[in-house]
Structure 1
Amino acid sequence: MPKIDLTTVPERRGTSYPAPYAKVAQDRVKQVLGDAGGLSDFGVNLTRLPPGSWSSQRHWHTREDEFVYVLSGELVLVTDAGEQPLRAGECAAFPKGVADGHHLVNRGSGTAVYLEIGTRSAEDACHYPDIDLHLDGARGWTHKDGTAY
């Protein structure tokens, strides 16, 4: 089963963020290719981001590396350092434990397509520097003070 038939991989639209934070990524579409291929140590997602959409809220992980590779279209990478364009054939890496919030924004007129690749860790925590949101692998979504959503 090494070859994955993309037509059989379900599409997931939107995000699991609690309100009001889900709206910016509500039109994002992912196909979870790593799961479809039976991978467990790292994930691979084929993601389509229509104009005006964000990949996520700006975030960083304590125990998960992330990598994105743009297949088509153009995105804006937003980090603590500012904004950079990411075009087809370009990529970015986000090492675990580096407190540099990042996300992708599609400000163009067409849908952008990219691969997301990242490690999977049950002990990971995800920090969102711009909003009152925190994700803990054991507790799920919480406010920054630790109270549950």
Structure 2
Amino acid sequence: MPKIDIGALTEVSSSTYPEPFRSRVAGRFRKALGDAGGLTQFGVRLTRLTPGTQSSVRHWHASEDEFVYVLEGTLTLITDAGRQSLSAGECAAFPAGVPDAHHLVNESGRDALYLEIGTRASADLVTYPDDDLMVRRSAKDAAYTHKSGAPYEL
């Protein structure tokens, strides 16, 4: 596979979260490096978080490993154990099935840039312990629901 021209890739700021969660990630911008390279087993994204933005709603995956590596700036990693600072050259890993909810928050005054790498499981259950939100994903679709199972209106 030839070199990927990162500068030519579109930076996407959209989110599939229903409101009120979508607005939490409004300052998150991603480039799908793995898709550009034709990867199918795992995803790689170059992600930019603007000040005051979070990477996601705090969550954990039943079936997908996740890994982040900070390239520029400083981010706050929030897990069940508390808060940790992650700066350029530092990383964190989140094994599938470990119920340790996590997300990154940019509490600094400048943009932060990091790599997100994760499994592309055909099915997954994503748990959001701080919010009334769950995602059940199959090979065919994904459904955002309340913890009761009632669907969110998208």
Which TM-score applies when normalising by structure 2? 0.94
Cα deviation, residue 8, structure 1: 2.2
- Aligned residue pairs, count: 149
Give the partner amino acid of 2:143.
G
- Distance, in Å, in 2 between the alignment partners of 1:53 and 1:77 is 12
Unaligned runs of 5+ in 1: none
Q: Which secondary structure does the structure 2 equivalent of 1:29 belong to?
A: strand
Cα deviation, residue 15, structure 1: 1.7
- Percent identity over the alignment is 56
Q: Which secondary structure does the structure 1 equivalent of 2:12 belong to?
A: strand
Q: Which residue of structure 1 aligns with residue 45 of structure 2? A: 45
Q: Does 1:143 align with 2:132?
A: no
Unaligned runs of 5+ in 2: none
Q: Which secondary structure does the structure 2 equivalent of 1:135 belong to?
A: strand
Cα deviation, residue 147, structure 1: 1.2
Give the partner amino acid of 1:142.
T
Q: Which secondary structure does the structure 2 equivalent of 1:12 belong to?
A: coil
| Moved segments of 4+, more than 2 Å | none
Matched ranges for 1:1-149 at <5 A: 1-138=1-138, 139-149=142-152
- Taking only aligned residues, the RMSD between alpha carbons, in angstroms, comes to 0.9
- Residues 41 and 119, structure 1, Cα contact 8 Å, conserved in 2: yes
Cα deviation, residue 123, structure 1: 1.3
Cα deviation, residue 90, structure 1: 0.2
- Residues 35 and 43, structure 1, Cα contact 8 Å, conserved in 2: yes
Q: Which secondary structure does the structure 2 equivalent of 1:54 belong to?
A: coil
- Distance, in Å, in 2 between the alignment partners of 1:50 and 1:89 is 19
